[in-house]
Structure 1
């Protein structure tokens, strides 16, 4: 009977050792999976941060190009408005006939009104163009940032 008890105890000891070994291996595998998961998460976070920084830099370049274009358009618009105002100021025709003078004054007023209308329309068109450029760049930036968050 003592031999059976000894064999039983030996079997239990071997079984406990196997269970401890399996538990230790499982814990080691779990730790390895956790470390690999953290590493992968850090790499993905780094990829996303780099992609977003690239998108921000590209958007800044686009804003600079749009601002330069708007400045050029503003300058051209100002020259056009100045030319229109000069033209409106020179419309009056010198004459001795009172009817011709009245027609010249009416034409001058009409030219001044049209010049003013042109100036306001051009100014508003420039404002709308700038707003459109800003909105387009912001939309494209948002889309690019979203796409940079989605894994490839």
Structure 2
């Protein structure tokens, strides 16, 4: 073996020993970092567990407030639907009476001019009765939609306030 090979082997041995020392130092640093992290995590977990109880109680209060808002909104919808049904029935009676009145408009007689005017008046009364029926139906639809939107808006506002404002 020549001196060149011996020098290369010696150099590799020195570099290898430095490499092993470096790797050992890194493993010690990782172990120390892992220990510090575990201690920090255990402290964080303890604080988190203690804090979770209070947060759970707050969350339960929020859920109860949301359920109360939902139940109140359902009550309001039921009341509005009952009122709408009553208004629809009253409107139907009004439309029926208007239809009967329109059908009875006119008079009969021997004069053809009177009969023609009477027929024109009856048709005009029927048109007005039909307009009344359609206007009343549309007003009922709009009132029902307004009631639903109002109830939903108030429920949304109460729900938001229950989430934002602290309970108690």
- TM-score, normalised to structure 1, is 0.79
Report the equivalent of 1:9: none
RMSD: 1.8
**Which residue of 106, 109, 127 maps to 2:123?**
109
- Per the alignment, residue 68 of structure 1 pairs with 82
Moved more, 31-40 or 72-81: 31-40
Q: Which runs of 5+ in 2 are unaligned?
A: 1-38
What are the residue-to-residue correspondences of 1:1-150 with 2, within 5 Å?
Answer: 33-150=47-164
Q: Which runs of 4+ in 1 moved over 2 A?
A: 26-36
Local SS of the residue matching 2:107: coil
Which of 1 and 2 has greater Rg?
2
What is the CA–CA distance in structure 2 between the aligned matches of 1:110 and 1:27, rounded to whole Å? 86
Q: Which runs of 5+ in 1 are unaligned?
A: 1-23
Once the two structures are superposed, residues 46-82 of structure 1 have per-residue CA deviations (whole angstroms, 9 ceiling, x without a partner) of 0000000000000000000000000000000000000
Q: Aligned in 2, Cα 1:27/1:118: closer, same or farther, shift over 3 Å?
A: closer
Query: 1:28: Cα distance to partner?
Result: 8.6
TM-score normalised according to structure 2 size: 0.71
